[in-house]
Amino acid sequence: MSAPKFTTLGCRLNAYESEAMRELATAAGLSNVQVINTCAVTAEAVRKAKKEIRKLARENPNAPIIVTGCAAQTEPETFAAMAEVTRVVGNHEKMQPDTWQSLAPDLIGETEKVIVNDIMSVTETAGHMIDGFGTRSRAYVQVQNGCDHRCTFCIIPYGRGNSRSVPAGVVVEQIKRLVGRGFNEVVLTGVDLTSWGADLPAAPRFGDLVMRILKLVPDLPRLRISSIDSIEADDNLMQAIATEPRLMPHLHLSLQHGDDLILKRMKRRHLRDDAIRFTEEALKLRPEMTFGADIIAGFPTETEAHFANSLKL
């Protein structure tokens, strides 16, 4: 009897959820199975998932293969058609204890091969919370899942569903437990972090969550934000940048491009000057602030001049 083996492709959130699934699968008594948590952010990511499935099947032909993650959610029939695949599990279903318990006794049986429902119908918050995923000193906490925006280049909302938030009290309690276990840094993760709170009572903003964590967990040495959409930065987030030394002075920005026409065609909500203005304001509040960013090259209709604007930015 061997423990479930997990292969994770894609983002940090997938890595977090693989750890949560490992706990669920182990608790359900699953053994000698291979679970691949896929990514759908590009066609290459989907191709890589198929390649990895074939590799796993060659290496351990007797172990059932469960495919889950964003590619499984957006293209369940693609993976169900692969002879190597035993089950296809959706992004909502993968985080439910009942799913793994139902798989345990009849994984090889004649039950339905595809367990994928409409992700857009999911309204509850991100469910399974784990304690301690990360390095010895850094832990990751998922506070949000899904996205309400529909950028023209992005398939993620169709894999993750609409935005839904973990209530602040739940987040704070988890971070308290992590600090109690010796973690010195917590990284807040999600699909669209700055949309946190819109679906909660009184619609708090992401900055409210940051300030609440820092206030209610005074023993937390460092709080880090994984990635934000700068156009959604609220007053409390800017206040935290200015006044809270425990908030790490690094922001990763979801910019995507440096040319206004391409940004409009991407259906982004910011323009070039908005991004520049935000970084200037953040630097005034926190001179040691540093930035990272996502930039897409080769977007349809992009010219050399458009691309040059991204380089200049």
Do both 177 and 292 map to the same domain? yes
pLDDT reading at 311 higher than 60: yes
Going by their DSSP bridges, the two strands 87-89 and 65-69 should be labelled as: parallel
Exposure letters 276-308 (e unless 16+ CB within 10 A, then b):
eebbebbeeebeebebebeeeeebeebeeebbe
| Residue 202 tokens, joined | 């009184």
Tell me, yes or no, whether 292 and 162 share the same domain: yes
CATH of the domain at 163: 3.80.30.20
Reading the block at residue 55, the tokens are 């590799």
Return the percentage of the chain with pLDDT > 90, whole number. 65
Q: Please choose, from the candidates 232, 134, 118, 138, the residue with its C-alpha nearest in 3D space to the C-alpha of residue 184.
A: 138
How large is the C-alpha radius of gyration of the chain? Answer: 21
Q: Is residue 61 in a domain?
A: yes
Instruction: Calculate mean pLDDT across residues 60-87.
Output: 92
The answer to whether position 122 is within a domain reads no
| 52 within domain boundaries | yes
- Tens digits of residue pLDDT in 227-272: 999 999 999 999 999 999 999 999 999 999 999 999 999 999 999 9
Residue 127 domain flag:
no
170 with 68, same domain: the answer is no
Total tally of structural domains belonging to the chain: 2
Q: Which whole number is the average pLDDT over 7-35? A: 87
Final residue belonging to a domain, choices 66, 86, 117? 117
Residue 124 lies in a domain: no
pLDDT in tens, 103-157: 865 555 556 788 777 666 666 665 555 555 656 688 889 899 899 999 998 888 8
> What is the structure's pLDDT at 91?
87
Beta strands 138-142 and 185-189: pairing type?
parallel
**Whether 27 and 99 share a structural domain:** yes
58: helix, coil or strand? helix
* Residue 232 and residue 158 share a domain: yes
CB 164 within 8 A of CB 126: yes
Distance of CA 237 to the CA centre of its chain: 20
Q: Is the pLDDT of residue 102 over 90?
A: no
Q: Give 187-210 pLDDT, tens digit per residue.
A: 999 989 999 999 999 999 999 999
Do 139 and 130 meet the contact criterion of CB atoms below 8 Å apart?
Answer: no
Flag whether 90 is in a domain.
Answer: yes
Beta strands in the chain (DSSP E): 5-8, 34-38, 65-69, 87-89, 114-115, 138-142, 144-145, 164-165, 185-189, 222-225, 250-256, 290-295
Q: Are residues 170 and 241 in the same domain?
A: yes
**Token match 């700068």: residue?**
230
Name the percent of the chain lying above pLDDT 70.
91
Q: What's residue 43's pLDDT?
A: 87
**Same domain for 153 and 104:** no
Supply the range of the domain harboring residue 243: 138-312
Mean pLDDT across the chain = 89
Q: What is the CATH number of the domain that holds 75?
A: 3.40.50.12160
Q: What is the DSSP letter of 93?
A: G
DSSP 126: P
The answer to whether residue 16 scores a pLDDT higher than 90 is no
Is the pTM of the predicted complex or chain greater than 0.75? yes
Judgement on whether residues 161 and 297 belong to the same structural domain of the protein: yes
Same domain, 196 and 111: no
At which of 117, 151, 172 does a domain end?
A: 117
**Residue 299 resides in a domain:** yes
In this structure, the answer to whether residues 149 and 282 fall within a common structural domain is yes
Confidence category of residue 310, pLDDT binned at 50, 70, 90: very high
Check pLDDT > 80 for residue 278.
yes
Let me know if residue 159 belongs to a domain: yes
SS3 83: coil
Report the pLDDT value the prediction gives residue 119, as an integer from 0 to 100. Answer: 63
Q: Which of 85, 117, 149 is the last residue of a domain?
A: 117
Query: Are 14 and 69 part of one and the same domain?
Result: yes
Task: Please tell me whether residues 265 and 164 are part of one structural domain.
Answer: yes
pLDDT of res. 133:
60
Q: Would you say residue 87 has pLDDT above 80?
A: yes
